[in-house]
Amino acid sequence: MRYRYPLLLLLVTVVWGLTFPVLKVATGQLSGVEITALRFLIAAACMGPFLRSIPVLTWRDGLLLGVLALTSMVAQAYGLQFISANRSAFLTSLNVLMVPLIGLALGVPAGWMVFCAAALACLGVGLMSFDVQGDFWADVATLAAALAYALYTILMSARAKNHAPAQLAAAQIACMALLGALWMLADSGAQRLLLLPGLVDSEVWWGLLYLGAIASAASFFLQALAQSHVSAAQAAIIYAMEPVFAAAFGWWYIAEQMTPLALLGGALVMTAVILSQRAESATP
């Protein structure tokens, strides 16, 4: 089935979309650093059976991918302290355009239809989320997050075919869990971490379990599996569906409203994904 792997990536964006309302609830009791570290510690526990006998080359690529993904999350978290979530979502979505441009610079040209689809996806996300109130350094950090994730997407498509998907996902997550735990210890302090179990209610713990087991462990595995068959440019456009699903789940789960402009933006992103599939099928 030709669309099997793009559909797997689309499933990943559905899972990611649900993380936004879950994160919004969790931030009422935990810092962004704590949420990030705990989700990857849970994910590492889920991937434990796959950590045995991982080849050195898989650890190398897993570390590189993990550092890029964590860098993207850290930079985005920093930016969110000073700019709105809407502006952050728009700036982060620019990775959709960065992927084919970086590919072009590296000698991997993409067709004009891919660039049109990428631009259309950015326009759609912009209609859904753009906010003119900015902060220079926060904007720079968020663009750095977009660049880090663009590099992650390119590297994943290039390297995933060389590794077993479960082992590559496990190596990434283990590296991110270790780095995240050190970051949390430095940021929160040992005393707060000892009190943490009593500070968090059951709804947040269930949310963390979802973030770790489904949105991290399962999603990283599906990415490693699917991106060995999907180009980086096409994957980036599919990932632009994340804010569309985030808006839909926000409306369903925490009663956030969707404006007519947001609905139009979502329709443009979906059109971009369809266009990217046509571009991929037209590639010889």
The per-residue pLDDT string of the chain (284 residues; one tens digit each, 9 = 90 and over) reads 567 888 898 888 888 877 767 777 787 888 878 888 999 999 999 999 998 889 999 999 999 999 999 888 888 777 777 776 666 777 777 777 778 777 776 766 666 677 677 677 777 767 766 656 667 788 888 889 889 988 998 899 888 889 999 999 999 999 999 999 998 999 888 888 888 888 888 888 998 999 999 989 999 999 889 988 888 877 877 877 776 776 676 666 655 666 677 677 767 776 766 666 565 554 44
pTM over 0.75: yes
CA separation, residue 254 to residues 87, 159, 204, 251 (Å): 20, 38, 14, 6
| Number of domains into which the chain is organized | 1
Residue 168 lies in a domain: yes
Q: How far apart are CA 66 and CA 276, in angstroms?
A: 27
Q: Examine residue 172 and state whether it is found in any structural domain, yes or no.
A: yes
- Is residue 92 within 8 A of residue 149, CB to CB? The reply is yes
Asked whether residue 81 is domain-assigned, the answer is: yes
Domain limits for position 56:
4-279
Q: Does 75 map to a domain? A: yes
Query: Is residue 96 situated within a structural domain?
Result: yes
284 in any annotated domain: no
